[in-house]
Structure 1
Amino acid sequence: MFKKFTILLIPEGAHHVQRLTIPRLVLPALALLLVASISLAGFWLYQYQTICDELPNLQALQRQTERQEAQVEAFGRELGEFKEQMLSLKKFNNRLRVMANLEKPASDDGAFGVGGPEADKVGLGLSVAGSVRERQLQSMRRDLDQMVTESELQRELQQELANFLQERRSILASTPAIWPVRGWVTSGFGYRVSPFTGKRTFHAGIDISSRMGTRIVAPADGVVTFRGRQGGFGKMLAINHGHGIVTRYGHLRDYKVNVGQKVKRGQVIGQMGNSGRSTGPHLHYEVLLSGVPTNPRYYILD
């Protein structure tokens, strides 16, 4: 049985032969090494082919992940902007409540509080957020829930403010805040010397003089409750404005409204005249609060 192999190596153009002697015992190791090398090469070739086949899917998945991350970041920015808007709205509502003299909500009424367990722990150390992205999503979900709660609270506050302002609007609309006619005030509210008797008497309104037929307007919203002659006032109108306020207009020449008719501020209700006990064309204008005469000038804003 042979003990070794001899391999002759004859280089081109050389004048001598090189001998390579390989012991017989080395041949199995060489064969095993060759088979292992071929197998390893085949495995890596298979892995390379698998990666090449999966590469389009991996690239598509990477692009999808990048798009999702961009969407999450954009949603986070919008959520932050929405939170800022909610905080601004809350501050604005609080200012309105102060201006309207309503009870100011407590400082802890807002839903934007802090506290509670750690973001990545629930119960007995159970991990629910294994990545920064998951913790970020959990934080945004909490913020969204808080803002839903806060928006509902602010909606209720705004409804309360709207009701309050609507009530105040009704009061303002019913307040006789403008002159019923333009002219010259010839007699004010309070005690005066009567032009008819020469005695000191109480004048329950103001007298405004102008040309005969000058239009008289309603100084506030209301309902006509009287139209007709009333003693020394001659032709007179009375308007109930609600909230205990009634205005009266004496010495008219003509009426432009009827009893029961609703009138708006600035609407023509009659014409200046000289009816009744009068020394010349003028309007006797009264404001009564719960039946008590008050100075009409206290209400006039223009």
Structure 2
Amino acid sequence: MVIADHNAPVRRFNISRSLIWQVSSGALLLAGVALGASLHYFQVARDAAENRILREENLTLRTQLKSVRERIEHIGSTLDRVERFDQKLRAITLLSDPQRNLAMGPVEREPGVGAPVAETQFTELTSLESPKSLPGKLDRLSAEATRQEQSLQELQAYFQDQKSLLASTPSVWPTRGWVTSDFGQRLDPYTAERVGHAGMDIAAPHGKPVDAPSDGTVVFAGLEGGYGNVIVIDHGYGIKTRFGHLSKILVKAGDRVKRGMQIANVGNTGRSTGPHLHYEVRVNGIPQNPRKFILED
């Protein structure tokens, strides 16, 4: 029933209950759909935000993982260099005291720990390596570092009592150039026959300085057959060095020399095919590979 005003006639409208129910149901249905859509929208928005956060965290973790790999590789490379240096130092200790437990090369590895230097196992990391393998790699690095620390501590204790030996042991290049003939078997440049070579030949410009590789006393300075002008230095402890084909000799027998002191100049005297230095190291009269007595790169 609708009454417009007090003068207007009364109008009546009849609405069935079924229509009211249908309208009410439709309104509730629309409200439910709207509510469901709203909930779905907020869920999708929340998932998108979480996915964005996860992507950012994943990118951060990848960056950190790459940094960890690079640091492990750097540490491994450093340990490889330390081990090579350790081997050279132990080569020196072998000369004076072969009865000590300081033989050539590093201390003995424990089973399953480390690998030979040639394999450079610590420098073989790749971007495809599983992150799960990193803890094991770090454990091996830690074990290797501990082993190297122990080895270097032994060497330090030994060297503290061997200052005189160190000063007398050849350890530097006598001259800089390029090695044209190494220690061992080689083809004779004159006869083309395979013969033993008791030292190494270092090619260098004529007149380039030749320095004493360690402290010692000059025991010979003069001509010696095919070696031309020769200097022989006695370093004590059974160690002697020989320098051949010199153009000029700056010391005489009986002179004391120090490591790094100039003793001669590179030349081409004697049986020689060009300017170079013939360099020998002998221990108790037995020729040794001079490379064992060069700690410089």
TM-score normalised by the chain length of structure 2 = 0.46
Task: Kindly indicate whether structure 1 or structure 2 has the higher relative contact order, using CA contacts under 8 Å at least 6 residues apart.
Answer: 2
